[in-house]
Amino acid sequence: MHNDVMTSTKRPSTVAEFFKAVRATREITQAELADLAGCSPMYIGHLEQGKYKSPIETIKKLRPTLTKKEKDLIREILVNQLVEELEG
């Protein structure tokens, strides 16, 4: 069983940080996360670099592997991102 993203020292506040934290807590590579999400390791790298803001389809594919806390956190991140975009 892997650690939980929510118990890491720095709580992710962006989609990029979320994907990095999921990998770090599970101690898996970008290639392994890409395999879970059904995408390329390059795509995961781009997500982690913040090149994509709302990778909804990738999050949907990962959903079955996420803990409840991880699901709640990514939901919060996406809502905050949407609010920022609407207010900005």
Q: pTM score, two decimals?
A: 0.77
E strands along 6-64, which residues? none
DSSP class of residue 38? T
Domain ranges of the chain: 5-87
Rounded to the nearest integer, the mean pLDDT of the chain is: 86
Task: Name the band, by pLDDT with cuts 50, 70 and 90, for residue 85.
Answer: confident
**Tally of CA atoms within 13 A in the half-sphere of 58 that contains its CB:** 21
Q: Which CATH superfamily is domain 5-87 in?
A: lambda repressor-like DNA-binding domains (1.10.260.40)
pLDDT tens digits for 37-75?
889 999 999 989 988 766 888 888 888 889 999 999 999
As a whole number of angstroms, the distance between CA 35 and CA 30 comes to 9
Q: What is the pLDDT of residue 10?
A: 78
Gap between the Cα atoms of 9 and 44, Å rounded? 22
